[in-house]
Amino acid sequence: MATLLLKKNEGHIIRMAEEVINVTAQPMSEPVHNISKAIFLQTTTAQVVSGIFVWAALFITCQQIYQHLRWYTNPSEQRWIVRILFIVPIYGIYSWISLLFFMGDSYYVYFFTVRDCYEAFVIYSFLSLCYEYLGGEGNIMSELRGRPVRASCVNGTCCLSGATYTIGFLRFCKQATLQFCLIKPVCAFVIIFLQSAGHYHDGDWSPSGGYIYITIIYNFSVSLALYSLFLFLGATREMLKPFDPVLKFFTVKSVIFLSFWQGVALAILEKAEVISPIIDENGIPTTAGTVSAGYQNFLICIEMLAAGVALRYAFPAGVYAHARRDPHRSVTMQSISSSLKETMNPKDIMTDAFHNFHPQYQQYTQYSSDVTSHLPYEKL
């Protein structure tokens, strides 16, 4: 009897121990789940996979840039093409570095600053490239002046029924893209300042934080820039047909808008608490905004390979390789370096901004960098 009682007691003790173990194990399930999410973005697998995609995109795009600089037969066009192509290295490298520094709450903001500022420059570069395709502002205006604006609610021109194209239309298109080139860097530096002061966190929609205001300003600015680009392509689509503008516009727009709407979707998921703060194995907490930015960086790294392939088909270098070349110009590393310096020189951008915003030039149509003709300015 004593033996049986002891066995029963032992069984009871064992059952109680199991119950205690089960009770104490349950609260640990959620932190373990959170740690697993943190580990993925920190793992060597995530870093290697994203790195492979980025370096493959860099190889494709840098080889294309090299070909354009090697056959630099049309600088007025290829200058803008090379500037557009640089979006892949800049987006890819900065996104990958941000992913490597994933656990740093503020590091990714500084990388985003450089990356997103170039985004504004790409929109302006594409519009400027279209100008070059069509022979410049003067040639475009000679074709468009007096033509009626096609009223359409889809195009956002329903209120312009009966209006005609004037120099004011081209001036608006350039000003709308240039304003984004100005506002985006300003917003980026404001974000850095607010971040250092503790008043900016991704996904924080509180009125006391800076995220909601920066988001509103950014959305308005980028929408205005892309809307003006859309209007310009709609007005000149027949003139641009030989240059396949649809593929080029779709490619550039996809690179910029895909990353933008991904960020919006991740911010919504963060607000809905689908993406939540996490704790690593050392017990260090990471905010939901940082986690969201980590996923954004990982996705951009993957997408840059597709962007590099698409840009290769949209802006082929073969067109310029077969063009008539200067017989006195030899293709050397020095000449390629010289072409790259010319491409990166921002002097033409500052001149264009001055021409489009200075009140003195609002009544002039620019036919070349040095010659303008006096044409009356009419408000569209």
State which of 117-131, 261-275, 334-348 shows the largest mean pLDDT: 117-131
Which one is predicted more confidently, 45 or 18?
45
Pure H helices in 134-244: 137-144, 167-197, 211-235, 237-240
Q: What local confidence, expressed as pLDDT, does residue 212 receive?
A: 85
Per DSSP, 326 falls in state -
pLDDT confidence tier of residue 302, bands split at 50, 70 and 90: very high
Mean pLDDT score, 309-314: 92
Instruction: Give whole-number Cα distances, 234 to 3, 81, 227, in Å.
Output: 94, 21, 10
Structure tokens at 231: 């209007």
CA distance 82 to 344: 9
pLDDT for the residue numbered 4: 43
pLDDT of residue 135: 86
19-28, 177-186, 254-263: range with lowest mean pLDDT: 19-28
- Per-residue pLDDT, 280: 61
* Among 30, 10, 81, residue whose Cα is nearest residue 248: 81
**Residue 372, SS3?**
strand
Distance, in Å, from the CA atom of 208 to the CA atom of 212, rounded to the nearest integer, reads 9
pLDDT grade for 21, boundaries at 50, 70 and 90:
very low
On whether the CB atoms of residues 165 and 145 are closer than 8 A, the answer is: yes
Q: What pLDDT shows up at residue 33?
A: 42
Most confident range (mean pLDDT) of 107-111, 233-237, 306-310, 359-363 is 306-310
DSSP-assigned letter for residue 164: B
Bridge partner residues of 148 (DSSP): 164
Structure confidence by residue, pLDDT tens digits, 190-209 = 888 887 787 877 667 788 88
Which has more pLDDT, 227 or 280?
227
pTM over 0.85: no
Residue 62 clears pLDDT 90, i.e. is over it? yes
Instruction: Please identify which residue in the block is written with the tokens 């697998």.
Output: 45
Per-residue pLDDT, 6: 43
pLDDT score for 19: 46
Task: Over range 36-48, report the average pLDDT.
Answer: 69
Asked which of 16-20, 195-199, 224-228 is least confident by mean pLDDT, the reply is 16-20
Distance CA 273, CA 32 (A): 17
Q: Is the dihedral of CA 339, 341, 342, 343 positive or negative?
A: positive
Query: What pLDDT, on the 0 to 100 scale, is given for residue 371?
Result: 36
Residue scoring higher pLDDT (366 or 208): 208
Q: What is the pLDDT of residues 73-114, one digit of tens each?
A: 888 889 899 999 999 999 899 888 888 877 655 566 667 777
For residue 329, the model assigns a pLDDT of 57
Please report the pLDDT score of residue 323 as a whole number. Answer: 66
What residues pair up with 278 in beta bridges, in sequence order? 286
pLDDT, residue 324, reads 57
Would the pLDDT of 366 be above 60?
Answer: yes
Q: Is the confidence at residue 226, as pLDDT, over 60?
A: yes
Report d(CA 74, CA 129) in Å as an integer: 12
pLDDT at 251 over 70: yes
The closest alpha carbon to 298, from 32, 40, 36, belongs to 40
SS3 of residue 363 by DSSP: coil
CA distance 24 to 262: 39
Residue 358 has pLDDT above 50, yes or no: yes
> Cα separations (Å) of 271 from 100, 113, 204, 265, 294?
25, 23, 8, 10, 16
Question: Quick one: how far is CA 373 from the chain centroid?
Answer: 37
